[in-house]
Structure 1
Amino acid sequence: MIRKILIAAGSVALLSTTALTPVSAAERKETYKLLDLFGEVLEKVRSEYVEPVNDEELIEAALNGMLTSLDPHSAYLNPKNSKDMDIQTRGEFGGLGLEVTMENGWVKVVSPIDDTPAYRAGMQPGDFVTHLDGEPVQGLSLSEAVDRMRGTVNTDIKLTVRRAGVEQPFDIKLTRAVIKVQTVKGQLHGDIGYIRISQFSATTHADLVRIMGQLKKDIGKTPTGFVIDLRNNPGGLLDQAVAVSDDFLDKGEIVSTRSRRPEDTQRFNARPGDIADSLPLVVLINDGSASASEIVAGALQDHKRAVLLGTRSFGKGSVQTLMPLHGHGSLRLTTARYYTPSGRSIQAVGIEPDIKAQQSKVEPIAGAAVERRSEASLRKALPNPNGDKDKTPAKPAEQPKAPETKAPAPDHKGEGGKAEAPAPIKLGDPAQDYQLARALDLLRGLSLYRPAQR
């Protein structure tokens, strides 16, 4: 079986086998010469290297060297890693809860997975992991670094992290756990439904339909709209991304994939039916929104079905095919690019939101709780002619007190002179989550405007 992948770690969908590209006799002869060269080098290493070497490890390193020279997502997966990928797509696996890639020799966080050790510790998209338990990651392949981060459940590992805007690197101690991913969660903010999709696993579409139905039932009237949160969503299964897009679209193309051969082009189209009943949608994205989540965001944006709010997405627009290797693991090879309905490739570019909003922590300013001055607070102000006796006249506004002087904040130095990890913003809480607060305000504004259009 050959399977199609849309994220750096294990999303799959069925893909038919195609014929190999024919090569000339001269090209085949040259290839055999180069394979002879490889065999000669392998034999020299086996017989002359200063320490005994393992043939399997040498071949595996050579395969990974060849594939990682192509792009960051192609790789050889030995039987253990191949099995781990299959487990992850079912929504349960062991580790820290990080989706990572490699950049300039460092491990770069694409996104932490919700409700995992990495998420709770405050890891953020764009963080660079420079050391694992004090050992530098430079010189390791991505798969080697991931293997070291995985391990026995309830064992600890220390990650040294560099973060943009933080001058000093800092250490984060994490305890490995069994990662059980609930990919869809919902909650109400008044008459607005908020749905968080953390990744696209095998049950995401079904969970979305169930949670959407429950939210509409709990509201008990026509909702104002819905917020779909795809921030820090690293992607997942192609069929689930298509199904989720289809949930909100009545017709039209959702995504297409294009490889070297034009005849291999695939197009996925929406069917009638919108589980949000054509109500307004705001989709939240950021630089941790990658691959399959970009398919959903791009489809809804191109069809003008939703307003995208946040920051530019990650920009992974390539498709990997997972090919079994007859008892020797599998090959993950980049075989196509995907395109949004308007024909955009977002590879290395990402999706720009319709409304740009950097994340900020929402905090009340000094004096905000003090009652504001108004006409009603003035002495001898004329009464309201409607005679609303139920409302008490406003009291004269008090002058705000001078803010208390506080001691300087600590410099957050941890052991070894490294800074401590900054406290994370809780996504989904509008009291802290500025982007969500903006989305809720936008939907409320749209609800005021809609009646005027009828």
Structure 2
Amino acid sequence: MTFRTALLFGAAVLSGLTLAPEFPVAGGNYGVVAEAHAETAPASSTDPKISHAETYKLLTLFGSIFDLVRANYVDPVSDRELITNALNGMLSGLDPHSSYMTEKQYADMQVQTTGKFGGLGLEVQGEDGHVRVVSPIDGTPAWRAGIKPGDYIVAIDGHNIDGSPLNDAVEKMRGKPDTKITLTLIRAKTPKPVIVTLTREIIHIEAVKSALYDKTGYIRIPQFTEDTSEELHKAYDELLKKAGGKLTGGLVIDLRNDPGGLLTQAIDVSSSFISNGEIVSTRARHPKDSQRWDAKGHDITDGMPIVVLINGGSASASEIVSGALQDHHRAVLIGTKSFGKGSVQTIMPIPGNGAVRLTTARYYTPSGRSIQGLGIVPDVLVKESREEPAFSIREADLSHILKNQGGNQTKPPQRSDLPALASKLPEEPPANWPAFDVTKPATDFQLQEGLRLVRSMANVAAPDPVASLPPVPAPASEKTTPVKNEASHH
């Protein structure tokens, strides 16, 4: 395959831990879960009314192959391993986000939703035998080592892992805190492999980060965990205090590279800025299981101008928030098109045997559109650099994805409320824009244009960040060389 940068969301793992469930389900027992699936799941995608006799035949086929593999595979293999592999194949064959979790993987996932766990702070996705980096978590060993979204991990401690199952690679990356690990990476546009050495540590996910730029607030949400909404409110209150009681320059919410997380937190965050109306709805296979969530009646900013930053790494829960704020004309979205994951997963525990992560619904923005495979298109296109996009693979590029259906439109509602400056923002940084440095906000072009736009919306001074740059040097071909006048002698 051709190595390309990418950001995926779904059955990703975070230093070996599955991502947080979209739609956690409490309780249940194996008998109930198994019975429900036996009664409601279609036995065939082509013929839902397939007979019990045919089902028995297919199960007999499965048993025959199971016996063949157990008896003839080159190495002895346990029955549990064979069944686990079969379960994984059955679920992952449905769509990229359904999967089976062993007891340990399920426990790891439950720990991750609390925002504290051990590892490298690295989200990875397995596809076609390759291990691709989804995103490093801010402030973690992976982030400090400069690992980038889209990198492929091909070796661990010098041992090749390309072609190995994702779980094997994940187990190798796990380890005790303060122990070292060396990763070999393949990176787009880099001719040689990149080798980085990291030290494992206990990872604390910072639910929310904030900063004050003059009187403009900035809040970054890197992932939707259990505490995101609470941390958001704390961060906003702190910004108000620092600004002397009012953010006169508006607010920027950064959802770039946010792979999502808990649906409940996405709803709470959206409700923090929308006072009434729908936030999101879900439509399941059975109409009785469909749901709708409305705003809770309180905009904590009292209508303050808001700009939201998104990119190809904004997925799932972050797309729910972006879509709600966009449909309600509550914020202006700046950046590039989001990932396009418009489905909801339910975690179904099977006591003593892990859990099933199953796609059970599609979700729809307040205007009724499904962004499945399409993504959220920003109101104002602003690229992060002049190079090719950092995330060249989105939901639509994955194999056997869920179809986009049931939505009443594929484009956001027409907006007539965009400020005049919105049409004047450049789509990409100028040639003399400084190289991006994660520790220097002044080099973040999307952020600087977002600050400029929200200040314009708040009717305060909105200087052009490009205006203070030094002149662009003329290309060498355009530089003139003085011509020496020589006297001719006859």
Matched, 1:11 2:35: no
Partner residue, 1:88: 112
Letter in 1 for 2:184: T
* Equivalent runs, 1:359-370 vs 2, <5 Å: 359-360=384-385
* CA shift for structure 1 position 134: 3.8
Distance of 1:71 and 1:129 partners within structure 2? 23
Pairing partner for 1:435 from 446, 450, 459: 446
Letter in 2 for 1:11: P
Matched, 1:175 2:208: no
Note if contact 1:232-1:289 (Cα within 8 Å) is conserved in structure 2.
Answer: yes
Moved more, 242-251 or 350-359: 350-359
Moved more, 329-338 or 44-53: 44-53
Note if contact 1:7-1:292 (Cα within 8 Å) is conserved in structure 2.
Answer: no
Distance of 1:340 and 1:6 partners within structure 2? 19
Partner residue, 2:274: 249
Pairing partner for 1:55 from 70, 75, 79: 79
* Equivalent runs, 1:142-221 vs 2, <5 Å: 142-221=166-245
Question: 1:308-363 deviations in whole A, cap 9, x for unaligned?
Answer: 111221222221111112311111111222111122222222212112222249xx
Note if contact 1:244-1:296 (Cα within 8 Å) is conserved in structure 2.
Answer: yes
Partner residue, 1:367: none
Distance of 2:451 and 2:300 partners within structure 1? 19
* CA shift for structure 1 position 175: 2.0
Partner residue, 2:486: none
Distance of 1:107 and 1:274 partners within structure 2? 41
Q: Percent identity?
A: 53
Partner residue, 1:373: none
Q: Give the paired residue count.
A: 384
Between structure 1 and structure 2, the one with the greater Rg is 1
Partner residue, 2:144: 120
Question: 1:116-163 deviations in whole A, cap 9, x for unaligned?
Answer: 111112222233333333444443333333333222222233323233
Moved more, 317-326 or 301-310: 317-326
Note if contact 1:125-1:287 (Cα within 8 Å) is conserved in structure 2.
Answer: no
Note if contact 1:6-1:292 (Cα within 8 Å) is conserved in structure 2.
Answer: no
**CA separation of 1:317/1:127 partners in 2, compared to 1, >3 Å: closer, same or farther?**
farther
Pairing partner for 1:425 from 411, 432, 437: 437
* CA shift for structure 1 position 263: 2.5
**CA separation of 1:237/1:40 partners in 2, compared to 1, >3 Å: closer, same or farther?**
same
Q: Which runs of 4+ in 1 moved over 4 A?
A: 5-8, 14-19, 22-26
Note if contact 2:220-2:253 (Cα within 8 Å) is conserved in structure 1.
Answer: yes
Matched, 1:444 2:455: yes
* CA shift for structure 1 position 71: 1.9
Note if contact 2:282-2:363 (Cα within 8 Å) is conserved in structure 1.
Answer: yes
Partner residue, 1:133: 157
Distance of 2:171 and 2:152 partners within structure 1? 17
Note if contact 1:7-1:235 (Cα within 8 Å) is conserved in structure 2.
Answer: no
Moved more, 181-190 or 118-127: 118-127
Matched, 1:21 2:40: yes
Note if contact 1:184-1:197 (Cα within 8 Å) is conserved in structure 2.
Answer: yes
**CA separation of 1:313/1:91 partners in 2, compared to 1, >3 Å: closer, same or farther?**
same
Note if contact 1:6-1:12 (Cα within 8 Å) is conserved in structure 2.
Answer: no
* CA shift for structure 1 position 254: 0.9
Distance of 1:151 and 1:45 partners within structure 2? 32
* CA shift for structure 1 position 166: 3.0
* CA shift for structure 1 position 173: 2.2
Note if contact 1:113-1:233 (Cα within 8 Å) is conserved in structure 2.
Answer: no
**CA separation of 1:169/1:111 partners in 2, compared to 1, >3 Å: closer, same or farther?**
same
* Equivalent runs, 1:199-348 vs 2, <5 Å: 199-223=223-247, 224-348=249-373
Matched, 1:100 2:124: yes
Q: Give the secondary structure class of the aligned counterpart of 2:60.
A: helix
Question: 1:68-127 deviations in whole A, cap 9, x for unaligned?
Answer: 222222111111111000000011111111222234432232222111111112222233
Question: 1:273-317 deviations in whole A, cap 9, x for unaligned?
Answer: 111121111111112211111111111111111111112212222
* CA shift for structure 1 position 14: 4.4
**CA separation of 1:449/1:101 partners in 2, compared to 1, >3 Å: closer, same or farther?**
same
* Equivalent runs, 1:369-448 vs 2, <5 Å: 425-426=437-438, 429-448=440-459
Partner residue, 1:401: none
Distance of 1:442 and 1:270 partners within structure 2? 26
Note if contact 1:113-1:119 (Cα within 8 Å) is conserved in structure 2.
Answer: yes
Note if contact 2:25-2:347 (Cα within 8 Å) is conserved in structure 1.
Answer: no
**CA separation of 1:219/1:26 partners in 2, compared to 1, >3 Å: closer, same or farther?**
closer
* CA shift for structure 1 position 424: 6.7
Q: Give the secondary structure class of the aligned counterpart of 1:61.
A: helix
Note if contact 1:184-1:207 (Cα within 8 Å) is conserved in structure 2.
Answer: yes
Distance of 1:248 and 1:28 partners within structure 2? 52
Letter in 2 for 1:255: V
Please, which runs of 5 or more residues in structure 1 have no aligned partner?
362-422
Distance of 1:124 and 1:243 partners within structure 2? 30
Letter in 2 for 1:10: A
Note if contact 2:210-2:218 (Cα within 8 Å) is conserved in structure 1.
Answer: yes
Distance of 1:349 and 1:134 partners within structure 2? 39
What root-mean-square deviation, in Å, do the aligned CA atoms of Structure 1 and Structure 2 show?
A: 2.5
**CA separation of 1:22/1:294 partners in 2, compared to 1, >3 Å: closer, same or farther?**
closer
**CA separation of 1:155/1:349 partners in 2, compared to 1, >3 Å: closer, same or farther?**
farther
